[in-house]
Chains A and B, each alone.
Chain A
């Protein structure tokens, strides 16, 4: 296909005025509730996981308020224990694990492949309703006596406490199936629905990261299901598996639990890295540096991620030899993660960097993820981990990775694909301001926790020695500012729905396929087959003031220079 032909086709897409799209093609409750359109399912997922994030965030604020003083501030011991458990369970199982794959994966994956939908649209819808079902069980657990086990459900505490462990376990079990359905669907879609010209190494890196994530979802999640089934069997039927009073082994539970939950960490972070790879490349106006290394590193992280679960258990009494092996394997995972960071930097080198809101979030990600990753070294090294294990150092570390990493990347994706999803542009000023607020408040909240941890403040403590109060108060102030900044980001987007200018097909000049269709896309994603091309050939795009967006460059324009003159 000639470049000229490509140009006319894409221009035709761009010029079509307010055509029918997936948002306005049908109306009414059932057109959403029973939809099989991946884009509508993605929006339902997006709203639902953001609702869960709000709930988890409220729990977080309550925790931080209680920790304002060393003794009782607003709640008693048990309420505090319930609050941090629910914060962890809601954030992990209802928000972070589904967040990027279910919302952005669902919305973008088929469009990036130039496909009409995922391979199994009904299964996709079923996955959403499983999420809803699992969420209802978790919420029911809150109402029916709460949950005070910590999100990790460690035995024998969880088999002996009188809070609603069974209800919550059933919820998490169901959520696991939701996750498996999404993963299976993505794997099949990527294998069978790529256009002929799109070889594996011409896929956008976000798809590589989703592929790696899906492998973990399909292989690891069943282990969590089995573990929780055993836990329920022990509680309900008195079968001795984990409780030593019944002849069980409590440490066995930790092995089972982390065999899922460590790979689950990569379910959370891999797709986040995928989004960052897209955004860094587009807003540096350069192809991603070392595409193959970045793609392979996703797969390497996914596979190595299965072999390191024991690093959560260095103090559990596991044998020395296993502690040593797990420590060594843990360090091996940090190499592919490091590769990604260096490749992102090299992508920016000699680029033409545009500080849009998504790019600001991506740069925040690099900053925060680097701290999160480097502090992992203290925890991977055996001698230092013994001191830092189960302290606030660990709390700070995983918040830097999960929140500074995954959440920030999720928001980066939100601002990046928002024009595509809604057809509206938001205010860059307010977008950047929100990003700066999130970045600064995040560091204020979590950096003091590294110091707290190293000085010996254990996690999950309701009362604490008064000498730690200053650090806790800084952290609490940070948490409130963080909440406020997230609302700034939310209002920026909500405002755009009503007052934002209409989004062009390709506002960012990206070359992956989702930008070749109108914003928002039609029900079947493309009016005509999208053009074959390299997803990182950003020079193929040129800014066109008439469209206030980008279009394909024609041959004559390509000769002039590699610099485009857009603002």
Chain B
């Protein structure tokens, strides 16, 4: 796991016994309902187990104890203990239902961010076209995520906001939230998606008011201000390459980036290929075209998600890893 992400995961957890910090108003509502059900459940649990234990003690078979008459049915009693729980259940259902509608109904004005999930990384695209692997949002502003997946089903889960929604390939789903606390919150994949499901982690970074726009402008211009190998390294870390490709010659799910540029490598179909600019570009856009021998054909395509400038930067980065 990326140590930075891991720190984010543990740092922000200043929550209660049951929950991580509540970062939205809706999270507080969800917690309220949880505690209400918890109180009811505790009451019924103590009632049931308490009666059970009391009965075991006072009605246990022992010398000199004679069982007294007890009815074998009592319709009034049975109706009562069906109807009272039923009323409480309707109450729980109703609260869950209204909370759910709040969760699923964004306000008219939202800041829209597009999300594409793939094995095993997230890509968040801001309205100006800038893409990053972490979700940056302004505080106190409704944010709507329009989401899809490139390969299998993933699920975007922000525990501190108490929200979760599946990302299904071939269709769009959406969710919204309004963070009311500045800070870093973990963002996880909650739908099992294969080998590195548990490493498909990221963060939500809630910026103080006024600072989000500054951040976005700075981040968007970074590509053109940094030297290409450094920009490439940034992309390598932010856009999910690091999940499968190492910088230190160890083989992970994909081949290492280190020391391969300019070498000839065997392919799965028995031929060999020279690792040059064209091969790297092709592998980013059409990963299945030439799969290296010894690796499974699992890389998703980045067609339409990396600009030419960014692909160039990644190529320069790989070149720099001698």
Contact = CB atoms under 8 A, between A and B. Distances in A.
A383 B103 contact: yes
B196 interface: yes
Nearest to A360: B56
B166 A335 contact: no
A363 B73 contact: no
Interface string A377-396: 11011111111011100000
Contact of A383 (B20, B30, B170): B30
A289 B33 CA distance: 34
B194 A456 contact: no
A258 to B, nearest CB: 14
A290 interface: yes
B173 interface: yes
B165 interface: yes
A558 to B, nearest CB: 14
B295 interface: no
Nearest to B1: A463
B296 A391 contact: no
A387 B30 contact: yes
Contacts of A380: 92-93, 96
Contacts of B197: 81, 460-462
Interface stretch (A2-10, A12-20, A343-351, A496-504): A343-351
A528 interface: no
B54 to A, nearest CB: 9
B99 interface: yes
Contacts of A215: none
Interface stretch (B64-72, B231-239, B274-282, B313-321): B64-72
A367 to B, nearest CB: 6
B310 to A, nearest CB: 26
Contacts of A293: 73, 78
A157 to B, nearest CB: 4
Most buried by B among A77, A162, A371, A381: A381
B48 A370 contact: yes
Given A150-B192, A156-B169, A346 B48 contact: no
B188 interface: yes
B44 interface: yes
Contact of A377 (B41, B66, B69, B151): B41
Contacts of A133: none
A473 B266 CA distance: 44
A244 B169 CA distance: 7
Interface in A188-203: none
Interface string B173-205: 100000000000010111111111111000000
B194 A366 contact: no
Given A156-B169, A244-B169, A284-B59, A351 B52 contact: no
A463 to B, nearest CB: 5
A338 B47 CA distance: 13
Given A343-B78, A381-B95, A381-B96, A156 B151 contact: yes
B20 A456 contact: yes
Interface in B47-83: 48-49, 51-52, 55-56, 59-61, 63, 65-74, 77-78, 81-82
Nearest to B57: A353
Contacts of A249: 170
B290 to A, nearest CB: 19
Interface string B256-297: 000000000000000000000000000000000000000010
A463 B200 CA distance: 10
B41 to A, nearest CB: 4
Contacts of A316: 166, 168
Nearest to A461: B198
Contacts of A351: 55, 59, 67, 70
Given A290-B74, A384-B96, A156 B163 contact: no
Interface of A: 71, 77-78, 81, 148, 150, 154, 156-157, 160-162, 244-245, 249-251, 284-293, 315-317, 320, 323-324, 327-328, 331, 334-335, 338-339, 341-343, 345-346, 348-355, 363, 366-367, 370-371, 374-375, 377-378, 380-387, 389-391, 451, 454-456, 458-467, 536, 561-563, 565
Interface of B: 1, 6, 9-10, 13, 15, 17-20, 29-30, 33-34, 37-38, 40-41, 44-45, 48-49, 51-52, 55-56, 59-61, 63, 65-74, 77-78, 81-82, 85-86, 89-90, 92-93, 95-104, 151-153, 155, 157, 159-160, 162-166, 168-171, 173, 186, 188-199, 296
Given A354-B61, A387-B162, 7 more contacts: A245-B169, A289-B73, A315-B164, A348-B55, A352-B61, A382-B100, A463-B1
27 contacts: A81-B194, A156-B151, A156-B152, A162-B296, A244-B171, A285-B61, A289-B74, A315-B190, A320-B100, A327-B93, A327-B97, A334-B85, A335-B82, A338-B81, A353-B56, A374-B41, A380-B93, A381-B37, A384-B37, A390-B157, A390-B191, A456-B159, A458-B188, A458-B190, A465-B13, A561-B66, A562-B67
